[in-house]
Amino acid sequence: MEHLPAEIVKAIKDEDRLRTLSHSIMRVAEEDDDFIAIVESAAKRFDCPAALIVIADAEENWVQAAHGIKIDDVPTRSGLFVYPIALKKEKALILNNPKDNADLSLSVPSYEGEPVRFFAGCAIRVHGVNAGALCVIDGENHRDITDADADALRRLANLSGSLYELKHAARAKASADLALSQAERRHSIAMKAANIAAWSWDGVSETVDCDDTLREMLALSSHEKVTCRRVLGAIQPDMRFSLMRRFKAALERGEEYQCEFKVESTGRWLLSLGGAYESAMSEDRRGPVFGVVVDITTTKESEQKTRLLLRELNHRVKNTLAIVQSIAGQTLRRSRTSAEFNMSFSARLQALSASHTLLSDEQWGAIALDRLLKSQIAPYIDSSGRQVDIHGSAVYLDPDEALALGLVIHELASNAAKFGALSTRSGIVDISVACQEQGGVTSLLLDWVEVGGPHVSKPEQRGFGSVLIERSLDKVIGSKVAVDYAETGLKVRISMPLRYC
């Protein structure tokens, strides 16, 4: 912008004006038909060949719309187009022969190769600031301009300002609508991923507006109308009264409510959370209520499983303490020295611990018998395992069976390492596993056969290990143990009923 006085430059570079320009006016390449209609009206009102809307930015002017002159031909650096921006009380700036004015002569634009001889301009106000100017130009003088003409130009300039504000509001609304749509989409995806259903209740019509997720949770048809009565009908009968009482009490107090309930047809557990909208706090309490429903079936099942595990743990701890107490007492009575007691008792505790470790790895569920056998025998053989042959059916034991049988296998392995087949390099322990069904009861048959070891004879006095081998299973779970002290090696047959086989 050339040859502008200081007051015009100050008006153009006002920070509030520039800030409004950047927020409210979008510079686009395409011409806008709405603004073209305004400049056409201005040119017609003044019977001039050309009119234009010029926006004055900090460093340059740009043309929003033009009539009677190509936008690319508009001399935007000519300062006269922005003089109206500095107008305060005047309706319009109307000049004939502006070239004759010494202060304006250097700012006069050209039209069709000659300096304009008539100029009329009015400031365009947008959000309270003068953003640009509506200008009319001609190569001829217009001496017959009246106040009515100036008022008309002022009204067209105001219309331009209002149009800018409307277009800015439309863009803001479109942007807000897009942001809302994106937020709703994100919300929908999050609700779906979290398996959360949304609902609203209209107290006047007594209807429930909900999504398909809630219908699925309550096992309702996608076509039927959802009402409070229909929702209550889907809930387990003994929970309906409590839910309605909490719901009504929360509405009366103007509080949010939450309630857990179970769906009668599917057994799913749901958590309902909701609250009244402001209008629901009126006297009739019949305004809308909004809420969500969360599927907490997995949480409920986890809680139930945790309670069962805690009860199971309590049972196991009591049983284990009883076993430890029995082992300690029997070992102490049959030990000749404290060192012998320490060694025997520690070995039996380690055997019990090994069984516990296996059960913990399986979360106290069924464990494979071959794993139990290997864990109890491992301390008494080398890494190659050539002295032990385990073969037969795949059998699984419950925790009680595993703990009791683990102690028996430990005693057999310990005795074999001290006195039997595992005490020599040539000895072998053959373990065969089989399942048999008799009278509708499935039982385990486990044969422990030792060969290649020292000569075997029946002991004159039985130690605690022998007692444990022969009697513990029978006492704990009603099983049987047959021990044969054959000369070729110890033979033991264990028979016990099984839950799994």
Asked if residue 242 and residue 120 are part of one domain, the reply reads no
Where is mean pLDDT largest: 286-290, 337-341, 372-376?
372-376
pLDDT, tens digit (0-9, with 9 covering 90-100), for 295-327: 899 888 888 888 887 887 787 777 777 777 777
Look at residues 179, 219, 228 and name the one whose alpha carbon lies nearest to residue 199.
228
Asked if residue 353 and residue 249 are part of one domain, the reply reads no
Cβ-proximal residues to 193 (8 Å cutoff; 6+ apart), any chain: none
Asked if residue 233 and residue 127 are part of one domain, the reply reads no
Q: Is residue 303 part of a domain?
A: no
Domain stops at, among 261, 295, 329? 295
pLDDT, tens digit (0-9, with 9 covering 90-100), for 123-157: 999 999 999 999 999 999 998 899 999 999 999 99
Asked if residue 340 and residue 487 are part of one domain, the reply reads yes
**Beta strand pairing status for 110-111 and 114-115?**
antiparallel
Asked if residue 96 and residue 18 are part of one domain, the reply reads yes
Look at residues 324, 404, 417 and name the one whose alpha carbon lies nearest to residue 372.
404
Query: How many whole angstroms separate alpha carbon 163 and alpha carbon 160?
Result: 5
Asked if residue 213 and residue 358 are part of one domain, the reply reads no
Where is mean pLDDT largest: 196-205, 284-293, 407-416, 435-444?
407-416
Least confident of 12-21, 88-97, 308-317, 439-448: 308-317
| Predicted pLDDT at 280 | 43
pLDDT higher at 119 or 403: 119
Least confident of 87-101, 269-283, 294-308: 269-283
| Predicted pLDDT at 24 | 83
Least confident of 55-64, 136-145, 350-359, 467-476: 467-476
Looking up residue 361, the CATH number of its domain turns out to be 3.30.565.10
Q: Is residue 446 part of a domain?
A: yes
| Predicted pLDDT at 214 | 86
Count Cβ atoms below 10 Å from residue 150 Cβ, excluding itself.
17
CB-based contact 408:494 (threshold 8 Å): yes
Asked if residue 201 and residue 152 are part of one domain, the reply reads no
Least confident of 2-6, 134-138, 239-243, 481-485: 2-6
Asked if residue 277 and residue 361 are part of one domain, the reply reads no
Asked if residue 269 and residue 314 are part of one domain, the reply reads no
Task: Tell me the DSSP string of 50-83.
Answer: EEEEEEE-SS-EEEEEEESS-GGGS-TT-GGGGG
Q: What are the backbone dihedrals phi and psi of residue 138, each rounded to the nearest 5 degrees, phi first?
A: -155, 155
| Predicted pLDDT at 464 | 46
Q: Which two tokens stand for residue 413?
A: 């392995």
Q: Is residue 189 part of a domain?
A: no
Domain stops at, among 295, 323, 340? 295
pLDDT, tens digit (0-9, with 9 covering 90-100), for 203-243: 777 788 888 888 888 888 877 788 888 888 889 999 988 88
| Structural domain count, the chain | 3
Looking up residue 288, the CATH number of its domain turns out to be 3.30.450.20
| Predicted pLDDT at 45 | 95
Q: What is the pLDDT confidence band of residue 281, given thresholds at 50, 70 and 90? A: very low
Q: What is the pLDDT confidence band of residue 462, given thresholds at 50, 70 and 90? A: low
Asked if residue 54 and residue 140 are part of one domain, the reply reads yes
Q: What is the pTM of this model?
A: 0.53
CA distances from 64 to 52, 164, 181 (A): 8, 11, 32
CB-based contact 266:256 (threshold 8 Å): no
Query: How many whole angstroms separate alpha carbon 368 and alpha carbon 501?
Result: 10
Q: What mean pLDDT, rounded, does the chain reach?
A: 84
What is the rounded average pLDDT of the residues 388-395? 91
Q: Is residue 186 part of a domain?
A: no
Q: Which two tokens stand for residue 458?
A: 């029946």
CB-based contact 491:447 (threshold 8 Å): yes
Over 70: is that where the pLDDT of 465 sits?
no
Asked if residue 493 and residue 367 are part of one domain, the reply reads yes
Q: Is residue 300 part of a domain?
A: no
Over 90: is that where the pLDDT of 439 sits?
no
What percent of the chain clears pLDDT 70, i.e. is strictly above it?
A: 92
CB-based contact 481:489 (threshold 8 Å): no
pLDDT higher at 33 or 344: 33
Sign of torsion, CA 71 77 81 82? positive
Asked if residue 107 and residue 61 are part of one domain, the reply reads yes
Q: Which two tokens stand for residue 226?
A: 């959802």
| Predicted pLDDT at 94 | 94
Domain stops at, among 122, 140, 172? 172
Q: Which two tokens stand for residue 32?
A: 């806008």
Task: Name the residue range of residue 397's domain.
Answer: 310-497
Q: What is the pLDDT confidence band of residue 470, given thresholds at 50, 70 and 90? A: low
Q: What is the pLDDT confidence band of residue 478, given thresholds at 50, 70 and 90? A: low
Over 70: is that where the pLDDT of 81 sits?
yes
Over 60: is that where the pLDDT of 336 sits?
yes
Q: Is residue 412 part of a domain?
A: yes
In the three-class reduction of DSSP (H, G, I as helix; E, B as strand; rest coil), residue 409 is classed as helix
| Predicted pLDDT at 316 | 73
